[in-house]
Amino acid sequence: MARQVLLIEDEPNIIEAISFILSRDGWSVATHANGETALDAVERHAPDALVLDVMLPGRSGYEILQDLRANPDTADLPVLMLTARGQKKDRETADRLGATRFMTKPFSNAEVLSVLREITDD
C-alpha cells in the first residue's frame, strides 16, 4: 500500500513539483493550501507524513505544527517544514515546536524525497 503524504502549501509551482516527484516514487499525495483549515485536512487524510509550509494564508505553519504536537492523535506525525525564510530563528522555532525536519526553499526534489523516506522509515 502506498504511503500517504499531505502537502500543505499555497504556491502552485511547489505543489506541482513535490506532487510529481512523490507520486512518481509511489506516494499517494493529497494537497491543501489554506492554513485555517489545515488541521481538518490532516484529520481527513490521516497521512503518514506531512509537508508543511511556514507561510500560509489564514494560519502559519508554526501555529499548525503547535496544534498538531498538542494533539495526541498527531503528536508523532512526521512533519517536514518548508520555508522561503531560512534564518536561524526560523529553524530554531521549527525545532522548538517539534518539526521532524526543516528545509529552506529553494530545495531539490531529490532532497524532499530523501527526507520523506527517512522520516517515515520506521
Average pLDDT per consecutive 10 residues, the chain (122 residues; last block may be shorter):
91 94 96 97 97 96 98 97 86 95 90 94 70
Q: Which domain holds residue 94?
A: 4-119
Q: What pTM does this model have?
A: 0.94
Alpha helices in the chain (DSSP H): 12-24, 38-45, 61-70, 88-97, 109-119
Please tell me the predicted confidence (pLDDT) of residue 122.
55
Number of domains composing the chain: 1
Contact assessment for residue 5 and residue 116, using Cβ atoms and an 8 Å cutoff = yes
pLDDT for position 1 = 63
Which CATH number does the domain housing residue 48 bear?
3.40.50.2300
Please name the residues in contact with 60: beta carbons below 8 A apart, sequence gap of 6 or more: 35, 54
What pLDDT, on a 0 to 100 scale, did the predictor assign at position 121? Answer: 85
